[in-house]
Amino acid sequence: MKLDWDLLRSVLRMAEQCEGGCPLVCTATVYTAPHYKLNWRDTKYGFGTVCEHMLLLGDAGLAVVRDLGMGGDGPVGAVLERVTMRGHEFLAVSRHEGTWSDAKRLAETIGFGVQPLVDVLGARAELELERLAPFAPERRAAHKLEAR
């Protein structure tokens, strides 16, 4: 299975949208509990790929994820129990589509993990903030001192 950054972000966004929090459940079986079901059939991905990416979110510390185990035909499912603080930070810095596309392209070209991707996204966000508000009140004093 190839890592798909867009799928990771998409699953995390779905979990963030769950009213009252998670869990977000992905299973191939009929699921009638009062949790949020991730309908993997609505995606371009197969069930196993979606489950594996949910588990990767847990591996990366972006969410607390529980593996529902393996059956005779493959994975039974996964439960995203909650988005972690690191996951919320990842979502915050990846909201701008242009910034996301640039950082994702860099990650795919160079081949690095989640934390460097978050760092790149954060750096891009800081540059954008500097461009939009170069002299915010707390920076004006520092700018005046540097000009002397």
What residues contact 40, with CB distance under 8 A and at least 6 apart? 26, 46, 47, 50
Angle at 60 between CA 31 and CA 16, to 5 degrees: 50
Say if residues 117 and 89 touch (Cβ distance below 8 Å): no
Residues 84-97: tens digit of each pLDDT: 988 988 888 888 88
Residue 145's pLDDT is: 47
Q: Which residues of the chain have pLDDT under 70?
A: 20-22, 29-43, 74-75, 112, 128-129, 132-148
Q: 33: how many CB neighbours lie within 10 A of its CB?
A: 9
Domain boundaries, given as residue ranges, for the chain: 5-83, 94-147
The 3-state DSSP composition of the chain as helix, strand, coil percent (nearest 5) reads: 55, 15, 30
How many Å apart are CA 143 and CA 148, to the nearest integer?
A: 9
Amino acid at 122: G
Q: How many residues does the chain have?
A: 148
Q: Which residue has the tokens 């795919």?
A: 108
Supply the pTM of this predicted model.
0.71
